[in-house]
Structure 1
Amino acid sequence: MELLNDMALFVEVVKAKGFRHAAQVLDMPNSTLSRRIATLEKAIGLRLLHRTTRRIELTEAGQLYFERCKRIVDEARLAHEQLGDMLANPSGVLRASLPVDFAVTYLAPLIAEFAGLYPGITFDFDLTPRQVDLVSEPFDVAIRIGEPADSQLIARPLASLRPRLYASTGYLEQAGEPRKPVDLERHECLGILRAGAWTLNNGRRSVTVPVGGRFTLNSVGMIRRLATLDMGIVLLPEEIVADELAGGKLRHIMPEWDGIATPVYAITETRLLPAKTQHFIGFLRERLGR
């Protein structure tokens, strides 16, 4: 890279027909420019310029070298411009693994907005609950809720989701409305698998409450649906139950108590990402981090 930079300086000196004018164009000290060209001559083992007090002249070797340098520098500048255009207007297929309920409820409008910004990108999404293998499978990125299990992968934080307590009006009419954490022990609580306990915080203290219920589930979508059918209380981020809240199927209860915040990450196999993936992650980070 340094050699290419010195070649570009040499081209500017020849085009300007002198160090002084070239130094003004390049906005660098004349002495520095002269030293860089001398270093270039030493590196290639050829004298490129005849220097006088008033002007410079190319040597025979310098003329040949100038023609080649100019071509290389022009090609490098063109490649840089094309790269800049590619970064600004990415294209190709973006393959991503997304958490089902979070994607359908919350990410879908953001993805639609992103697609409108970058019409050159097409999308291949996997919304199955399985943990895809980013090393052996052709995915560009996986969006995951919770701490990543594989420390060998690159995890970029996108947001932090704070779970809250929700229930349907029908359930609350049947079972009564809990007012404090200990009240949850006598309620039907719908959680992922056998959580056994929920940890709640009111900003001053944390309380861990034993919870249980008739249902053992591994689907957030099913938990959410059962809650709307008056089957119990859920502890979920507002982003997951946004539609149910808007439609009045669920309502926020015990508003002074929240669950433990859960991080959202963009997981990739490498730090060297194509432009489409860089833009997608950056876009989600901006929108989700608000």
Structure 2
Amino acid sequence: MHGLIFVTWEKYLVNRFNTALFNAYRAKIGENTTNAPLASKVYDDAMLLAGVAAVHELTHVPVDTLLREYGHYFLTNGLTSSRCSYLLTQVHSGRDLLLVMRDAHAQMRRVPDGLTPPVFGYEAVFEHSNSLTLIYDSSRQLCPVLWGAIEGAAERYGQQVRIHEKTCMRQGYDACRFDVTFLPAKNIPNAHETPEQIARRKQQQQVDNLVLSLLPSQQGVTLTQLQGLLQMQGQVPATHQRLSRILESLQHLSHAGLVAHTANQPGDTLTNRKYWRAPTFDL
């Protein structure tokens, strides 16, 4: 499971409860500053399930409530917005976001890190352009997370959403089927962006695409080597040639499943970490 899941889960705990609860949670699962989750790493699914169980024991909040609230939080918090900005700049509605998520999850499965995010299917409802049926059949059976994510997708774009779970794997069906209808937005968040914000967002997207185009398809290059390649290109603002900004672009692309790296290999450090383009088709 992607490290961003674990990092945002812990942010959710602080936001939902308080720092005291979070500290008690860390003590209960044996976490400290040396083994805290990192967004660039990959972790076993069992760690998250154990964490959810620990919070349930500490708070007595039902597990499914925690999962649903977290799914909502994941799609609305600032860290996800930042790390997944390459994807989010392509989206203008809750329905579109769910479809982009589906494609991104499929792409992440092609990255050689052992990631297996759920790839849910969908059926379009042709008579209603804002409706669709989501089909979720992951062995994890974390359907409350998807329910919350649907709600979070709607909130991101100022929409309301109607959700009806027709079937559920937990009740013996082969898949969970959600009938989802997004209602028109009353307030569109992006409408409040200033011209300067829009220009910066578009420029960041252009730089992300340039960084992607410079990456090799195998072997990989380090952050410093990539900086050298970028400096050889014309018309790239000096601010975007800084290592911190290049790393930001790599994070955007990584969370879209378009960049692979060695972060999960033994001996990896930020200095020697290598990056390359992930395949965009099944080998």
Instruction: Indicate the structure with greater strand content.
Output: 1
Pair in the same fold by TM > 0.5: no
| TM-score for both structures, normalised by structure 1 | 0.22
Question: If you compute each CA radius of gyration, which structure gives the higher value, 1 or 2?
Answer: 1
Q: Which has the higher contact order (CA 8 A, sep 6+)?
A: 1
| TM-score for both structures, normalised by structure 2 | 0.23
Instruction: Indicate the structure with greater helix content.
Output: 2
